[in-house]
């Protein structure tokens, strides 16, 4: 079996490093939008479990989707320490930088 490299893997590697903080926050906000309480906007200071109408199962589902999207794995003990959108974004960016 012969597999030819068409440069696709190189493109994926380059794209992995190009994620900005704003991009991560936007992606988080997209996932949190259905849980927005009233007219208050979702910002970096939004406390995920307190300011939104989201339960722990939905939080875990969202985290798993973000892990897939940004190709990271957030340990459970770290997830327990994340409270705000900014903290989640910072964690994702920090884990990407280590990879």
3-23 pLDDT per residue, tens:
454 444 443 443 445 799 999
Determine contact, residues 20/27, Cβ cutoff 8 Å.
no
pTM above 0.85? no
Q: In whole numbers, what is the pLDDT of the chain averaged over residues?
A: 87
Q: Where are the domains of the chain?
A: 8-98
DSSP code per residue over 36-97: B-TTPPP-TT-BHHHHBS--HHHHHHHHHHHHHHHT----HHHHTT--BHHHHHHHHHHHHH
Taking the C-alpha atoms of residue 76 and residue 23, their distance in angstroms, rounded to an integer, is 23
Using alpha carbons, list the distances in angstroms from residue 9 to 16, 92, 93: 11, 22, 21
Q: What is the mean pLDDT of residues 45-72?
A: 97
Reported as a pLDDT band with limits 50, 70 and 90, residue 1 is very low
Q: What is the mean pLDDT of residues 18-46?
A: 95
40-53 pLDDT per residue, tens:
999 999 999 999 99
Superfamily for 8-98? ACP-like (1.10.1200.10)
């Amino acid at each position: 079996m012969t597999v030819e490299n068409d440069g696709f893997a190189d493109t994926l590697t380059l794209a992995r490093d190009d994620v900005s903080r704003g991009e991560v926050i936007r992606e988080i906000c997209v996932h949190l939008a259905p849980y927005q309480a009233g007219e208050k906007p979702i910002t970096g200071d939004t406390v995920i479990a307190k300011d939104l109408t989201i339960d722990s199962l939905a939080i875990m589902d969202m985290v798993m989707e973000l892990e897939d999207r940004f190709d990271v794995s957030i340990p459970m003990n770290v997830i327990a320490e994340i409270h705000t959108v900014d903290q989640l974004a910072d964690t994702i960016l920090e884990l990407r930088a280590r990879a």
